[in-house]
Amino acid sequence: MTLSLKKDHKLADLFLQAKPESAGPKFFSDLKSKARLVLEEVGFPTVKAEEYKYTNISKKIADSIENPGSPSPISNLEKVEALRDLLDSIDGYQIITNNGIPEEALSDSPEGLFGLHHFTDLDASAIQEIGQIEKPENDAFSALNTFSFSQGLRIDIPDGKILKKPLVMVHYVRADENGACVYPRIFINAGKNSQASVIELTVFLNDETVFVNSVSEWAVAENAHIRHYKLQDGNKNTLEVHNTGANIHKDATLTSVVLSLEAGMIRNNLSIDLNASNCEGNMYGLYLLNGKTHVDNHTNVDHTQPHSQSNELYKGILADHSRGVFNGKIFVRQIAQKTNAFQQNNNILLSEDATVNTKPQLEIWADDVKCSHGCTTGQLDEEALFYMRARGMSKESARALLLYAFAGEVLEKISIEPFKKYCEKLVHERLGGSY
Amino acid sequence: MLSIKNLHASVEGTAILNGINLEIKPGEVHAIMGPNGSGKSTLASVLAGREEYEVTAGEVTFKGKDLLDLSPEDRAREGVFLAFQYPVEIPGVSSTNFLRTAVNQVREYRGQEPLDAVKFLSLMKEKMKLVEIDQKLLSRALNEGFSGGEKKKNEIFQMAVLEPTLSILDETDSGLDIDALKVVANGVNQLKSKDNATIVVTHYQRLLDYIVPDYVHVLFNGRIVKSGTKALALELEEKGYDWIKDEVAGTAV
């Protein structure tokens, strides 16, 4: 058994050739060299690699992405109508990326509320933080993003700033003759005592096969409270790998809600380091899959200091030939006494051909902690279904109402009303039935 | 109203009902009694359309229609109501939302206009009094965390809202204390009319002190082996079921 069996080097070579190292600040060329090294040495994971054993996204990319380059910026983005109603109803600060590149002209940057900077414009100290939370060596796709992104965006929320309106980050994606691979790269720094919500949306402008590979890093300072919502509602040809890393400091909270409704294949890696006492990480997810859609959520929360808390709830409804993967790692270090860590993954399979692979992974070195985990995979509750039908409700309505109730537990974690309504509507439409 | 002829049913290949015959007319209350395992709850389930039971022979007509041919929801819409022995807890589904959807789908089937939120609320309020159910319960998820008594009251409340022509109470008395039993029975009695009928399935006579049956049938080994009036229930209470079993054994030999 050799290492090479577990790794796909050919694909790595393809990507390395597609994007020669670009010039730029020395810090970036160093970071990118490091990323190149990771790709050259370890390549992309195959199903032989433990972390990717159920999600053969390397092969999927190799098979379906013909051009590993990146598309040029899309023109006339301001005229795109997709999501217009949603964006109007949310009334947030829009931050736009155009095929992965931050689009300054179309982004809101209201004076005094938050800072918006291209990576290449950062000063020496701000630049040093990039790539330190989500390191290229963590994951081959993290390395690929680091190697391949041509511009990133740093958002700074100043100390004490409470943003009343959410930041709405919209990624516009469209493949062209230059390539089909898009690399959004974000760094968000939430200052002490700040508070903000960030909604992340992706608009795929056509149904062509694209590969979106993002990295976002979240530095959440003392007593900052951040909520991050991510809606994944592409089409059957979208391939996505997202690496999200967060550093949480004293008394701070990060809440992540990921809704995966439509895609070809998605891998979400979410990693939260609870680096101080009394901080909190919340990870919620809902995946509603049909056709052959495959969604894999890998989460990792690391309790390194006493008195921190994590809550995790991922729920899935899987129809047709779809597949869901959940892996939840919880680490509780020896000094992290009085940790509370809760994890739950529940799935409903609507078809005999749908599959779920779920794995909780708890490693606890401290002895005075409260940790629990549970996972269930089953069918719709037949007894409940009969009960509802016996009251005159159609089978379709009863089924939809039960599924909606199941999904509702995650949807209710969304605290921005117009966005919540929008997501509820998408889920309603998917589940069908009138109720 | 309801006519059951030679009904045979089985579950997973085991025969449970072995030829039930029963005629029920509007205005009547029938009690079905019998020892554990005699098929009482199976009969209730088959009438309501529970899918794991297979009807192997016989027929059931309800208001002239072939009941066995209807889906569970269409039976409910035609006016059959089953009060469950074990009402199901359904987390995340609000009682109110559920019941309003059910009521409006029943109304649609009957060609009636749907009730809007205001009208539905006033209907709920009117019916709540009948079973002394707390409005707070109805704002919670359906049956979730309800006590045994609250669940049974909620069944009768739903019955009151849906106004069925045939109500089947499946061991509604099980797990109830005397006070709750009275409330539940009182609700059932108030809903009684000359146009509707009730089947009370029970193991014990005590419920029949409050809901007085016109006929009492004893079920044993999936057949009605004895029918009589309320006096039969009292006799069963006093002597237990063994003499019935002996009688059946005697006739079989």
Q: Do A389 and B162 touch (CB under 8 A)?
A: no
Instruction: Please indicate whether residue B129 or residue A210 has the higher confidence score (pLDDT).
Output: A210
CATH number of B2-38+53-252: 3.40.50.300
Chain segment A84-141, per-residue pLDDT in tens: 999 999 999 999 999 999 998 899 988 889 999 999 999 989 999 999 999 999 999 9
Please tell me the distance in Å from A326's CA to the nearest CA on chain B. Answer: 23
> Is residue B73 less than 8 Å (CB to CB) from chain A?
yes
What share of chain A has pLDDT > 90, as a percent?
87
Q: Is the pLDDT of residue A61 over 80?
A: yes
Give the pLDDT of residue B201.
Answer: 95
Q: Is the pLDDT of residue A73 over 80?
A: yes
What is the average pLDDT across A402-416? 95
Q: Is the pLDDT of residue A43 over 60?
A: yes
Q: Is the pLDDT of residue A40 over 50?
A: yes
Selecting from B98, B103, B109 the residue whose C-beta is nearest the C-beta of A401 gives B98
Chain segment A155-199, per-residue pLDDT in tens: 999 999 999 999 999 999 999 999 999 999 999 999 999 999 999
Give the pLDDT of residue B66.
Answer: 97
A72 DSSP assignment? P
Chain segment A316-354, per-residue pLDDT in tens: 999 999 999 999 999 999 999 999 999 999 999 999 999
Selecting from A392, A402, A434 the residue whose C-beta is nearest the C-beta of B76 gives A392
Give the pLDDT of residue B238.
Answer: 86
Interface of B with A in 40-69 (CB under 8 A): 48-51
Please count the residue pairs, one from chain A and one from chain B, whose beta carbons lie less than 8 angstroms apart.
74
- Mean pLDDT estimate for chain A: 93
Give the pLDDT of residue A22.
Answer: 65
Give the pLDDT of residue B252.
Answer: 57
Give the pLDDT of residue A25.
Answer: 80
Q: Is the pLDDT of residue A142 over 80?
A: yes
Q: Is the pLDDT of residue A1 over 60?
A: no
Give the pLDDT of residue A112.
Answer: 87
Q: Is the pLDDT of residue A5 over 60?
A: no
What is the average pLDDT across A46-51? 92
Give the pLDDT of residue B240.
Answer: 85
Q: Is the pLDDT of residue A433 over 80?
A: no
DSSP chain B: -EEEEEEEEEETTEEEEEEEEEEE-TT-EEEEE--TTSSHHHHHHHHHT-TTEEEEEEEEEETTEEGGGS-HHHHHHHTEEEE-SSPPPEEEEEHHHHHHHHHHHHHHHTTPPPP-HHHHHHHHHHHHHHHT--HHHHTSEETTT--HHHHHHHHHHHHHHH--SEEEEESTTTT--HHHHHHHHHHHHHH--TT-EEEEE-SSSGGGGTS--SEEEEEETTEEEEEE-HHHHHHHHHH-SHHHHHHHHHHH-
Instruction: Give contacts of A401 with chain B, Cβ < 8 Å.
Output: 93, 97-98, 101
Q: Do A405 and B93 touch (CB under 8 A)?
A: yes
Give the pLDDT of residue A382.
Answer: 92
What is the average pLDDT across A19-24? 66
Instruction: Give contacts of A388 with chain B, Cβ < 8 Å.
Output: 90, 98, 102
Chain segment A389-400, per-residue pLDDT in tens: 999 999 999 999
Domain ranges of chain A: 3-276, 380-435
Residues of chain B with pLDDT under 50: 253
Q: Do B101 and A435 touch (CB under 8 A)?
A: yes
Give the pLDDT of residue A435.
Answer: 60
Chain segment A279-308, per-residue pLDDT in tens: 999 999 999 999 999 999 999 999 999 999
